[in-house]
Structure 1
Amino acid sequence: MARSSGVYGESAKPGAVPRVPVQDQGGHDRAPAPGGDGPGRPGRSGGTGRPGGSGGSGASGGRPGRVRRALRWSATALSLLVLVTAGAGYLYYEHLNGNIHKGRRSSGASGAARTGPNAAGQTPLNILLIGSDSRASDENVTLGGGRDSRGNPPLGDVQMLIHLAADRRSASVVSVPRDTRVDIPKCTDPATGKTYPPVNTIINASLARGGAGCTLATWENLTGTYIDHWMTIDFAGVVRMADAIGGVEVCVRQNVWDRPLPGVPGGSGLKLTAGRKKVQGVQALQWLRTRHAWGSDPLRAGAQHMYMNAMIRTLKAQNVFTDTGRLTDLAEAATKSLHVSEEIGTVKRLYDLGTQLRTVPTDRITMTTLPTAQDPQDANHLVPAGADADRVWSMIRDDVPFDGKGGKPGAKQDAERPSRDPAAADGEIGVLVRNATRSATLGPVGGRARAVADALVGKGFTKAAADPSGALSEERTVVRYPSAELAGDARRVAKSLGVPASSVRRSTDVSGVTVVVGADWRTGTAYPKQPAPNSEDLPGDTDALNGSDTGPCMDVYAPYRW
């Protein structure tokens, strides 16, 4: 029997035209209708070519079942693939979380109040970055030398506060040289339970007296600013991060070789020819550790600022937040290299922190070094430079940008907000007044505690009394209180004396409301009004470096040139 041309409905025979998939109205491939010449065309058996038509029987009618089974298997395979991929992602996320070493945010006594939001509901963010000289591992011993000091507690040789403005439009960084003498509060090491008494010594010793949480408490007392988080990194961590970044550009004006010289041991080993160079790995660590070749510890901070700014520019240029491969490499390196305070101890929280930091334009980042003076007790040490140092901290406390592009304070301290605990009657508030007018450059003013206590009595605070102990040292006047139920009393006392609310701080070092008359209040019975800081107030001796400035080069101290 003759076969009509163009008919696809017969069983397969030699030379028969193979079935081909056709597309439905949704654009999806499907098999041609059994027994039909195509969608809607009647075949020899009179079928409609649609699902359920009479042409659905016979050998060719089994194909839709096979297709459906194939689709079911494909869907199952795809589901398994998604689950496996998601599971691998989860396992990798947990792997990164497992890399992170965490510690207590604060392990020392501090009276700094948490910073409150500004009128727009925005809150600044303060992060303390600490570079440790730990020799607790073979790798660190190899990189840092000092095999004979392997078991010693680590010192915090690099310390800088990163202040991210409440509006996230600027960032200010302040380094304190490691040999700066400050008050280190009472701290308890969370790892050993050992308690260290308060001491007045150089700031790098704080890390060995209770870990990074003690260094954070030291900075809070030094600055009067609440610090949200800390991060520490050791020698091996610096090398790991520098390699992950792929190198950072630095600059020297002369050939430099930081090496031991007669009578001057040590040295980082850094050896570079003059000009702009990219450093990474061990060489990056050498750059950050070099001190002798620059001539001083404050100048070393300047070299570190150059590196930090260049690193930020490099990361922004690499678009690491949109490049999955680069982000993965950096995440692996960062989680293995950084120790962080526990409240940011997950990959997600670190990532969220990174996204906040990257919103700041590089030309709104300002790196500075705290103004210091020679320590009168030890010529090899430094002390904060009085009014200039306090001006820097005032700008941080009041959220004033360092770059001169903003003038109005953006945040307020908790102390400025109405207290939930109202003040007691003035005559019922016990107040102790201490004389702390001795400063790094000026001796104490006799009788200050008695004069201020008498002034308080005259204002109705009949339980005010002077502390008979000797004069202390405090650059700025503060009013301290030990517990929340005395917050209202402390604010009431401060207000009566004209002391700003930002100087009212909670502290475990006092047993009641305590007025500490600092070196900024040497005469009179009313606290001298302090001008509000603005963005032009940054002292000239901070060695400020803008984040977008690629021009600076380090001068090499002559004995270390080659």
Structure 2
Amino acid sequence: MADEDEGEDGTESAEGRLGRRPRRPRRLRIVGCVLAGVLVLGAGSAAWAFWRLNGNIESVDIDSALGDNRPAKPRPTGSPSASAAPLATGALNILVLGSDSRSGKENAELGGGGEDSGARSDTAMVVHIDEGRTGATVVSIPRDTLVTRPSCPLESGGSTSVAYNVMFNSAYAVGGPVCAVKTVESLTDVRMDHYMEIDFSGFAKLVDALGGVTVTTDEDIDDEDSHLTLAAGTHHLDGEQALALARTRHGIGDGSDLGRIALQQHLVKALLDQIASTDLLTDPARLYRAADAITAGLTTDTGLDSLTELMNFAQSLRDLSSARTRTVMMPVAPAPYDRNRVVADEPEAGELWESLR
């Protein structure tokens, strides 16, 4: 049977065509309303996500706290041009700390201790990003290094006293990020342009958001303290396992902090490889989870305390890869008065820091 809008020969009659004309505008109106609704909802979701991520970030005004009594900033090289990229390309030195804070339920569970039992900087790395931001050097500072801890300003007022031959990680314990930065600058005579600190929970969630991380170990690991057991070989770790690997010390090598540093440096390169192989921009849900994980467990200086600043910084590192990242440890030697501690091995340590200025 022919459609009532068609003629006997099956072609559409003029009357039928006239009868259908109102349907197209109506369909367009419906589609337009749907699209408008999607755009409004999308914009609202994006605004909510930006507000949430931006609000996650905690910051410390290190520049104001330390004032001008610091190593000089290096002079920028090259000359600006109208055709230069808008993203910054200058060299940077960043102090990156891994905090073992048990503050909050998740950190307490991952750390295996009670909440609010204090915090130390058991992982400390000075990340030097080369001019052009296509290469980097990551220098680990052993927590057991004996240093002269300078007088540090306290948030509550006053300042700490100078302390001699104390463990490096005591700086964070007594004076927080400000004292950690001042101690590193005193030890290295290198100006720290930025500060980043990530806690247990933030690190584990970041690894999970990236889909895990693949590492290869040269020997078996069995550490009762970090609760990690791995046979020698290649393993794909989830966030909790990766955190345990970063904390492992007694189950590998001589059980010292130096063995743990080797694992942490290996893990840094594996994470760079994982980030490079994960196209976050094509997976908005994963991108959001990664950004939420990073910002929720992150403390920065005020120069990186907004989502916009962090995004610009990350974008400036788009050409950085694990192949262009060198990982080293500050040269150390056993302390002559305490064989369980180390001291900077000179002149090698000084030469290393000189190369990063």
- Which TM-score band applies after superposition, normalised by the shorter structure? 0.7 to 0.9
Q: Distance in 1 between matches of 2:73 and 2:186?
A: 13
Work out whether 1:308 is the aligned partner of 2:272.
no
Alignment-derived partner of residue 85 in structure 2: none
73 and 242 in structure 1: CA distance in 2 versus 1, 3 angstrom threshold: closer
The residue that corresponds to 1:131 in the other structure is 98
**1 or 2 for the larger relative contact order (CA 8 Å, sep ≥6)?**
2
CA offset at residue 15 of structure 1? Answer: 4.2
Q: Could you tell me which amino acid in structure 1 is paired with residue 271 of structure 2?
A: M
Q: CA deviation at 1:313?
A: 0.6
Go from structure 1 to structure 2 and tell me whether the alpha carbon gap of 1:117 and 1:252 turns closer, same or farther (over 3 Å shift): same
Name the counterpart of 1:172: 137
Give the distance between the partners of 2:117 and 2:162, measured in 1 at CA: 20
Q: What is the alpha-carbon distance in structure 2 between the residues aligned to residue 15 and residue 67 of structure 1?
A: 19
2:86 is matched with none
Amino acid at match of 1:237: G
* Structure 1 partner of 2:200: 235
Partner of 1:286: 244
Which of these residues, 274, 285, 288, is aligned with residue 328 of structure 1?
Answer: 288
Cα 1:74/1:175, change in 2 over 3 Å: same
Deviation at 1:227, TM superposition (A): 1.3
1:367 deviation in Å?
Answer: 0.4
CA deviations over 1:407-441 (Å, ceiling 9, x no partner): xxxxxxxxxxxxxxxxxxxxxxxxxxxxxxxxxxx
Q: What do residues 179-220 of structure 1 show as CA deviations (whole Å, max 9, x unaligned)?
A: 112222222233x44532232321101112222122112212
Aligned with 1:277 (options 226, 235, 258): 235
**Counterpart in the other structure of 1:118:** 77
Q: Is the 8 A contact 2:203 2:294 kept in 1?
A: no
SS at match of 1:238: helix
Q: What's the counterpart of residue 212 of structure 2?
A: 247
Q: Are the counterparts in 1 of residues 152 and 161 from structure 2 also a CA contact under 8 Å?
A: yes
Aligned 1:79-98 pairs, distance under 5 A: 79-98=36-55
Provide the C-alpha distance between the structure 2 equivalents of 1:78 and 1:33, rounded to a whole number of angstroms. Answer: 33
Q: CA deviation at 1:118?
A: 0.8
Q: SS at the partner of 1:188? A: coil
Q: Could you say what secondary structure the match of 1:284 adopts?
A: helix
Q: Does structure 1 conserve the Cα–Cα contact (< 8 Å) formed by 2:99 and 2:200?
A: yes
Q: Which amino acid counterpart does residue 232 of structure 2 have in structure 1?
A: A
Give per-residue Cα distances to partners, 1:375-419, cap 9 Å, x unaligned.
Answer: 22322211111110001001101xxxxxxxxxxxxxxxxxxxxxx
Q: What is the count of residue pairs matched by the alignment?
A: 339
1:318 and 2:278 aligned: yes
SS of the equivalent of 1:118 reads coil
Please give the residue correspondences for 1:36-435 in structure 2 after superposition, counting only pairs within 5 Å.
68=25, 71-72=28-29, 74-106=31-63, 107-108=65-66, 110-121=69-80, 122-147=89-114, 150-190=115-155, 192-193=156-157, 195-200=159-164, 201-259=166-224, 267-293=225-251, 294-295=253-254, 296-397=256-357
Q: What is the rounded CA distance, in whole Å, between the counterparts of 1:369 and 1:196 in structure 2?
A: 28
Gaps of 5+ in 2: 81-88
Equivalent pair of 2:205/2:290 in contact (CA under 8 Å): no
Partners of 1:105 and 1:343 within 8 A in 2: no
Q: Which runs of at least 4 in structure 1 moved beyond 4 Å after TM superposition?
A: 13-16, 32-35, 62-74
Shift of 1:350: 1.5
**Which sections of structure 1, spanning at least 5 residues, go unmatched?**
1-12, 19-31, 39-59, 260-266, 398-562
Distance 1:105 1:322, change over 3 A: farther
**SS of the residue aligned with 1:86?**
helix
3-state secondary structure, aligned to 1:367? strand
| Residues 198 and 322 of structure 1, relative CA distance in 2, 3 Å threshold | farther
How far has the Cα of 1:166 moved from its partner? 1.1
Which amino acid in structure 1 is aligned with residue 36 of structure 2? Answer: S
Is this contact kept in 2: 1:108–1:218, CA < 8 A?
Answer: no
- Residues 92 and 128, structure 2, Cα contact 8 Å, conserved in 1: yes
In structure 2, the residue corresponding to 1:123 is in which secondary structure? coil
Query: Could you tell me whether the CA contact under 8 Å between 1:108 and 1:210 is conserved in 2?
Result: no
Question: Cα gap change, 1:33/1:347 in structure 2, threshold over 3 Å: closer, same or farther?
Answer: farther
Distance in 2 of aligned mates of 1:221 and 1:239: 31
Q: TM-score, normalised by structure 1?
A: 0.56
What's the offset of the Cα at 1:254?
3.3
**For the residues of structure 2 that align with 1:169 and 1:108, how far apart are their CA atoms?**
30
| Aligned pairs for 1:488-507 within 5 A | none
CA distance in 2, matches of 1:251, 1:70: 58
* Equivalent in the alignment of 1:416: none
The equivalent of 1:433 in structure 2 is none
Instruction: Give me the identity figure in percent.
Output: 32
Instruction: Note the C-alpha offset of 1:158.
Output: 0.3
Q: CA RMSD in A?
A: 2.7
Amino acid at match of 1:133: D
